[in-house]
Amino acid sequence: MKIKSSQNVAGFTLSEMLVSISLSSIVLAAAITSGVSLQKSFSAVDNYFTTHMQQIRIIDYLNRDVKRGLIVTTSVDLQSVTMSLPNYIIQSSDTEGIANPSLVGTPRTPTISYTSSGWQVNYSPSNSTVVYSISGTSILRTENGVVTTIASSTDQLVPSTTDVELANTEYAKTSVTFSPIFTSNGSVASRTGTSLYATAYLRNKRRG
Amino acid sequence: MRKPIQSSERGNVLLCVLCTILVVSIIGGNVLLNCMTRYNAASSQVRSWKESIDAAETGGDIAYAEVRKKILDPTHAFSGWTYSGGVYSNSPVTYGNDSLATSAKVDLFYYDPNGNPWYRIRTTGTAPVLGLKRVGMDDRMGPNNHGDSLLRKIDFNYDHFVATYGPNGDGLNKALVPVSRPQVTRRVELISAPITPFEAAIKAGGTFYGLGSAAYVDSYRSSTGAYDPNVRLNPNDPRYIDALSGTVEINSAVATIMGNIYGNVYTNGGTVTKNTASITGIIDNNVPFSLTPFRMPDISGWTYVSNPSAVTGNTTINPPAAGSPESPSYYLMTSFVTNGNLTVNAYNNNGTLQETYVAMHVTGDVGSTSGQGASITIANHVHLEVYFDGNFGAKAQNIINNSGFAGNLQFYAISPTDPSVQQTIDLNSGGGSTAGFAAVFYAPSANFTVNGGPDIVGAIVCKNFYANGNVHWHYDRALDNTGDAVDYRLISYVEDTR
């Protein structure tokens, strides 16, 4: 009996191998390139949204403090905001807290006084000072010397706040921009396109 | 014989497919995970955080409306609220598509020197956090940075505020209170301050005509010295700044102004005619305002004195006690006859005259335009508030306020319940051109007429104003915080950010 050789187990010819390797290389190269591009794109978009969330956070922090502020002032370059807030809660370093430690952490009952500009509500003789500033890639909030990093991004976050004083009211207009890392040219337009705006009014009677 | 295809070759293909699916799934899962983190933070947590302050401020609005009713509609103020331990509180109010909830507590924490109560409003606003129970994005900011957590405090399982600071934030009654679903709660404290009526020299809710061509309205501040007619002409005088606040406010387009106004003039869409050059301040024709009818204030804290009960002829009041701004000696007068002559003395405590607070409600007219009209004399140290239901008629010379401070003699015209009844206040100078008085009038429903040229220290709030003489009107800037509350405004806002 003669054993019949099978064509199915025969190897590829050299030309078949070359063609298949070429095609495979092209497909693999395309896949790798696509993968890298997708990864970069994903990373950029991920970073974009992360920075966008930090924009919102900066705005939320600022608005919360402006609303309860007594005095709000902005620096000449508009990138630093200083505000005075009522000392609502008794701290351990406050006079009342030292005299009676059980009062620490409790809200104050305000006192009322009449000044040349009308009635004033005072929660304590001194107020808290809060400063928003930029430090490198971070946005800092400093309250009575205690620093909190409220945002940090390599996308160059820049808040800009304008303090507007009118006869009977005051408000702060804030815009926060960043330059997305996937834009290589760093153009003004790319930064402007990320702008987030907000306006917050002082709810308290202005003192500054 | 034909050899079958080996199954192991199919297995390799299957493995490749599974690996591909695995890789794609990992990528997809990673994308989904990141998306969900952002969705949770952006859509759910940020929204809930903002909605909760909206709810807290809504609670503040609800409470503020009740505080205003204390003046505008006393019988219905805090109706349906619970009062316990000096604090009004309401049941949580739920509203909106996201079922936001708010509740408020209101307490009277201060009486000012006028006896007007100040109210503190504490509210909480709660918004549910929809979506997955996931923390914020602190992990994206590097170690030791907790911007999200410090800002947006989310209660996933328990109310962190009650557990840490107690329900009132005072460290008492701390308890582990489970929440039915994740939520954000924010708390604000508002201070509601009374608005006193005398913030301008003359305030007319209707038309204005006057004064005489040689009349003038100026101002001073009694707390820095007596009135001096030369100050308004001398910019170098340190009191000059207080001499140009003789402001006239008119809530209509009709404003015929003569004489000199050392202050501002406001109208409601009007054009000021005649001597406009004699106005030292600004003319603003876009200042509308409204005057609500005046009601008799709550007298529950006042000390009723039964005698006298009418002013007939010469009537003298010697109060039995000094009283206080919030608790004056209170007299109910059924009449104040045309020529009635009322004298109010200060309370004498063992030879020392006390600051004495007296309130009087006349249920009819006070004097009339005929004869001498009403005569009223108050001694030094007396603070008299006269409320009257009818009309008022007197000569300027017969209103004698020995202290000279207009805030010590206050007249309040209670608005008629019948809108067809026109209330009037008529003042005639009498006694020569320099005769005058120091007093304030709050009469939002009355037509106010001044005949002749009296010298007046004080302020007037009325409906229509008419004066045809050369009146000299001196507004005392110390009056801007004097008088009964006619409304409330919110002047302080604090958020408890813990």
Q: Quick: pLDDT tens for A163-196.
A: 888 766 788 999 998 888 776 566 777 788 888 8
Contact B217, B262 (CB under 8 A): yes
Residue B376: pLDDT band by 50, 70, 90 thresholds? very high
Question: Does residue B282 share a domain with residue B255?
Answer: yes
In chain A, residues with a C-beta closer than 8 Å to the C-beta of B171 are 102, 105-106
Determine the average pLDDT of the residues in B418-430: 86
Determine the average pLDDT of the residues in B68-90: 93
What is d(CA B412, CA B485) in angstroms, rounded to the nearest whole number?
11
Residue B305: pLDDT band by 50, 70, 90 thresholds? very high
For residue B109, tell me if it sits in a domain. yes
Question: Does residue B98 share a domain with residue B224?
Answer: no
Of all residues in chain A, the one with the smallest CA distance to B477 is A116
Residue A124 φ/ψ region, left for φ over 0, alpha for ψ in the -120 to 50 degree band, beta for the rest: beta
What is d(CA B104, CA B488) in angstroms, rounded to the nearest whole number?
17
> 3-class SS at B212?
coil
Q: What is the percent of chain A where pLDDT is above 90?
A: 25
Contact B451, B426 (CB under 8 A): yes
Domain count, chain A: 1
Which carries the bigger pLDDT value, residue B150 or residue B47? Answer: B47
Contact B38 A109 (CB under 8 A): no
Question: Does residue B233 share a domain with residue B171?
Answer: no
For residue B74, tell me if it sits in a domain. yes
Contact B169 A204 (CB under 8 A): no
Give the ranges where A79-127 is alpha helix by DSSP (H).
95-99
Domain count, chain B: 2
Question: Does residue B180 share a domain with residue B229?
Answer: no
Q: Quick: pLDDT tens for B379-405.
A: 999 999 999 999 999 988 889 999 989
What is d(CA A9, CA A18) in angstroms, rounded to the nearest whole number?
19
For residue A122, tell me if it sits in a domain. no
Contact B461, B411 (CB under 8 A): no
For residue A119, tell me if it sits in a domain. no
Quick check: B159 pLDDT over 60?
A: yes
Token pair 């809530």 in the structure block, residue = B251
State the number of CA atoms in the 13 A half-sphere of B453 facing the CB. Answer: 13
For residue B460, tell me if it sits in a domain. yes
Of all residues in chain B, the one with the smallest CA distance to A103 is B170
Determine the average pLDDT of the residues in B146-164: 86
Computed over every residue of chain B, the mean pLDDT equals 88
Q: What is the percent of chain B where pLDDT is above 90?
A: 55
Which carries the bigger pLDDT value, residue B416 or residue A185? Answer: B416
Burial of B376 (0-12, 13-18, 19+ CB in 10 A): buried
What is d(CA B124, CA B495) in angstroms, rounded to the nearest whole number?
10
- In this structure, chain B runs to a length of 498
For residue A25, tell me if it sits in a domain. yes
B480 inside 8 A of chain A by CB? yes
Question: Does residue B456 share a domain with residue B363?
Answer: yes
Closest in A49, A118, A123 to B38, CB measured:
A49
Q: What is the pLDDT of residue A66?
A: 92
Contact A204 B492 (CB under 8 A): yes
For residue A5, tell me if it sits in a domain. no
Quick check: B26 pLDDT over 90?
A: no
Q: What is the pLDDT of residue B141?
A: 55
Q: Which of B227, B203, B116 is nearest to B482 (CA)?
A: B116
Q: Quick: pLDDT tens for B128-142.
A: 998 777 776 555 555
Q: How many CB atoms lie within 10 A of CB B235?
A: 10
Question: Does residue B207 share a domain with residue B189?
Answer: no
Residue B214: pLDDT band by 50, 70, 90 thresholds? confident
Quick check: B167 pLDDT over 60?
A: yes
For residue B273, tell me if it sits in a domain. yes
Q: Which of A38, A203, A207 to mutate to test the interface with B (most CBs of B within 10 A)?
A: A203
Q: What is the pLDDT of residue B149?
A: 75
pTM for the structure as a whole = 0.82
Q: Quick: pLDDT tens for B218-241.
A: 999 998 888 998 998 899 998 898
In chain A, residues with a C-beta closer than 8 Å to the C-beta of B170 are 106-107
Of all residues in chain B, the one with the smallest CA distance to A46 is B34
Q: What is the percent of chain A where pLDDT is above 70?
A: 91
Residue B6: pLDDT band by 50, 70, 90 thresholds? low
Q: How far is B21 from chain A (nearest CA, A)?
A: 15
Question: Does residue B314 share a domain with residue B213?
Answer: yes
Quick check: B210 pLDDT over 90?
A: no
- What are the DSSP calls for A135-189, one per residue? ETTEEEEEETTEEEEEEE-TT--EEEEEEEE-SS-EEEEEEEE---TT-SS--HH
Question: Does residue B406 share a domain with residue B258?
Answer: yes
Contact A204 B165 (CB under 8 A): no
Q: Which of B140, B198, B482 to mutate to test the interface with A (most CBs of A within 10 A)?
A: B140
Question: Does residue B152 share a domain with residue B242?
Answer: no
In chain A, residues with a C-beta closer than 8 Å to the C-beta of B169 are 106-107
- What are the DSSP calls for B66-116, one per residue? HHHHHHH-GGGTTTT-EEETTEEE-PPEEETTTTEEEEEEEEEEEE-TTS-
Q: Quick: pLDDT tens for A79-104.
A: 889 999 999 999 888 888 899 888 88
Residue B356: pLDDT band by 50, 70, 90 thresholds? very high
Question: Does residue B163 share a domain with residue B255?
Answer: no
Q: How many CB atoms lie within 10 A of CB B199?
A: 19
For residue A206, tell me if it sits in a domain. no
Q: Strands B87-89, B303-305: parallel, antiparallel or unpaired by DSSP?
A: unpaired
Contact A50 B137 (CB under 8 A): yes
Interface of A with B in 62-121 (CB under 8 A): 64, 67-68, 86, 88-89, 102, 105-107, 109-110, 112, 114, 118-119, 121
Contact A57 B148 (CB under 8 A): yes
In chain A, residues with a C-beta closer than 8 Å to the C-beta of B162 are none
For residue A186, tell me if it sits in a domain. yes
Q: Quick: pLDDT tens for B177-206.
A: 999 999 999 999 999 999 999 989 999 999
Q: Quick: pLDDT tens for A126-156.
A: 889 999 998 888 888 999 888 888 888 877 8
Determine the average pLDDT of the residues in B115-128: 95
Q: Which of B141, B241, B488 to mutate to test the interface with A (most CBs of A within 10 A)?
A: B141
Q: Which of B362, B357, B275 is nearest to B312 (CA)?
A: B362
Q: How far is B43 from chain A (nearest CA, A)?
A: 11
- The range of the structural domain enclosing residue B127 comes to 22-193+488-496
Q: What is the pLDDT of residue B336?
A: 93
B198 inside 8 A of chain A by CB? no
Could you say which DSSP state residue B34 is in? H
Question: Does residue B146 share a domain with residue B74?
Answer: yes
What residues form DSSP beta bridges with B190? B121, B493
The set of long-range contacts for B136-141, using a CB threshold of 8 Å and a minimum separation of 24, is B136/B41, B136/B45, B137/A50, B137/A53, B137/B37, B137/B38, B137/B41, B140/A50, B140/A53, B141/A54, B141/A149, B141/A151, B141/A152
Of all residues in chain B, the one with the smallest CA distance to A8 is B5
Q: What is the pLDDT of residue B283?
A: 86
What is d(CA A178, CA A193) in angstroms, rounded to the nearest whole number?
9
Residue A7: pLDDT band by 50, 70, 90 thresholds? low
Q: What is the pLDDT of residue B51?
A: 94
Closest in B3, B171, B492 to A105, CB measured:
B171
In chain B, residues with a C-beta closer than 8 Å to the C-beta of A50 are 38, 137, 140
Quick check: B3 pLDDT over 60?
A: no
B274 inside 8 A of chain A by CB? no
Of all residues in chain B, the one with the smallest CA distance to A65 is B495
Contact A53 B41 (CB under 8 A): yes
Question: Does residue B444 share a domain with residue B492?
Answer: no
In the chain, the amino acid numbered B409 is: L
- The range of the structural domain enclosing residue A39 comes to 12-86+127-201
Of all residues in chain B, the one with the smallest CA distance to A67 is B493
Pairs of CB atoms within 8 A across A/B: 102
Quick check: B340 pLDDT over 60?
A: yes
Mean pLDDT is highest, among A37-51, A188-202, B314-328, for B314-328
For residue A98, tell me if it sits in a domain. no
Structure tokens that stand for B257 in this block = 């102004």
For residue B430, tell me if it sits in a domain. yes
Quick check: B493 pLDDT over 90?
A: yes
